[in-house]
Amino acid sequence: MSILPSSSGASTGTKQKSNSGPTTFKTFFECWLVEQNQHLQDLVAISQTRTEEQSWCPVQKVLDHYEHYYKAKAEWSKQDVLAILSPSSWTSTFEAAFLWIGGWRPTMAFQLLYSKSGIQLENQLYQLIHGLGKGDLGDLSPSQIVRIDKLQAKTVKEERNISEKLAKHEGTLADSCMVKLTHMVSEMMRRGDGYEEGVGVEVEIEVEVELAMELKKEGLKEMLRRADDLRLKTLKALIDIMTPSQGVHYLIAAAELHLRIHEWGKVRDGKQVN
């Protein structure tokens, strides 16, 4: 597969990969993970030293990094959407078991927020009692919580809508066209009509089969596009509700969750092989 051309929002590592010629999505993803880990280290340092004003630029840089990932993913899906939806070569089996249309469920972004907010709230309970705060996710205001609740309700609705459309598309695998084609081919194989010899009517049927499968793949591309759009839109909307400092803490939690689960899953897969 060809590489996504470098974009202005991409960081140095992925730009260098993009200019080096053809590669695979696995190569891109591994490079992207290295950059995510570097962003994580930067965010941790920022959370300890920077002011609200100084925190915004690093937050935007990380959002650009996520956006570049989804742009690259969209480009590869045009060439091989089945590989993108079955990422066995670059994710662990543990991660793959929890995927929703090739990625994380958009509603998981809220579970992450509530989990991290609760942990940080407990850690600073004494300060809050005395009217002090740290500016992290434990300091979410009532108005922020109201906006987050509204966003969550909207995201749940959109996620459910995509899931329902996917279910309908999955059902087309057994539509009349596919059933007719599978029966015709099976009958030819049973009769020994030369289906396996690549001649005559077989070629015509193979063209029909290929066209039918392409239609199924096109539907999957659309489902993946919708899912990834909702993932990125949800992340950006959540960050927009937060202060820059809170955004830093949230993106730290997101990167830690992603990187550690990826590492644990890979280690587990290695043990299974051995």
- Residues ≥6 apart with Cβ < 8 Å to 136: 47, 120, 124, 245, 246, 249
What pLDDT, on a 0 to 100 scale, did the predictor assign at position 149? 96
- Give the residues of the chain that fall short of pLDDT 70: 1-22, 50, 123-135, 193-201
> Is residue 236 within 8 Å of 171, Cβ to Cβ?
no
For the chain, give every domain's residue range: 25-46+54-189+201-273
What pLDDT, on a 0 to 100 scale, did the predictor assign at position 138? 85
Tokens read off for 252: 């730290």
CB hemisphere CA count around 2 (13 angstroms): 7
Residue with tokens 């840089």: 61
Alpha carbons 101 and 78: distance in angstroms, whole number: 15
Of 220, 217, 193, the residue nearest 205 (C-alpha): 193
Taking only the tens place, the pLDDT of each residue in 119-151 is 877 766 555 554 445 667 888 899 999 999 999
pTM value is 0.84
